Homo-oligomer: A and B are copies of this chain.
Amino acid sequence: MTLVDGVETETVNAADRGLNYGDGVYRTLRFRSGAPVEWPRHFAKLASDCAALSIPVPAEPLLKDELLRVGNTRRDCVVKVIVTRGISGRGYRYETGLAPTRIVTSAPLPDYPAAHCDSGVHVRRCALRLSDQPALAGVKHLNRLENVIARAEWTDPAVAEGLLRDAAGNVIGGTMTNLFIVRDGVLATPRLDRCGVAGVTRDRVVEAAARHDILCDVTDLSWDDVLGAEELFLVNSLAGVWPVCSIEECVRTPGPVTRAMQKWIDG
């Protein structure tokens, strides 16, 4: 089911700036037993991403209502919320006062194997390098060609995710996940102030670590840092916490910090 500005439909206006320029932001979240998981965080991130693009954020009760309308048709599902700058004439310039477009849609949960959480996932290294753009870094906007190109680098279904680096060689994260590593008992995750998307589950991991007195560095991580880590795991709102069991030739067994984080995050 899809609602566009609250109306059930399968289509959007062809003049929408979301289509023409990728001029918008989005959220992908999980519904569990008919309720959106971590909605306040998702809304806060949506509002912050809208602000980064100077798009007025729709009212929270309005979005929540639309979310429940599409989500309640399937109790356990994925809901995607897109907010674009709206419909405008041709050209990059936009007038002030445009009405943002809301697109809220539900889909079945992805059928990830249970092994992804239990024994972990196989991960590869992508060739594509993420570009540095501080004006957009961290924001989940609709300009996602880099992710599309990176995800097209492999078709082997045994590989669950690919890791992306920036031009300088820093590891930034997966195509659809944020990365954490453990070294010397300390958690670390890439800084995302030049590229990458800062997901809601990444915040939850950082906060869970703080609550349990686990140090967590937000820092530059090299490929060697990643290969040399004691533990590695990937997170997003649908996957939860996936241990990494192999990366290129390196094999890892899910470790204690990863297992603890699964308990705290996936409940």
Residues of A whose CB lies within 8 Å of any CB of B are 2, 4, 9-23, 26, 28, 53-54, 78, 80, 82, 85, 89-94, 103, 105, 107, 110, 128, 131-133, 135-136, 141-152, 167, 175-176, 195
Contact = CB atoms under 8 A, between A and B. Distances in A.
Contacts of A195: 131
B14 A144 contact: no
State the oligomeric state as a number of copies.
Answer: 2
Contacts of A167: 132
Nearest to A3: B14
A9 to B, nearest CB: 8
A171 B136 CA distance: 20
Contacts of A141: 145
30 contacts: A2-B14, A9-B14, A10-B15, A11-B11, A11-B12, A11-B14, A12-B12, A12-B19, A14-B105, A17-B148, A18-B19, A20-B26, A20-B82, A20-B144, A21-B22, A21-B147, A22-B145, A23-B144, A23-B145, A78-B90, A80-B90, A90-B110, A91-B110, A93-B151, A94-B152, A131-B195, A132-B167, A135-B149, A136-B145, A136-B149
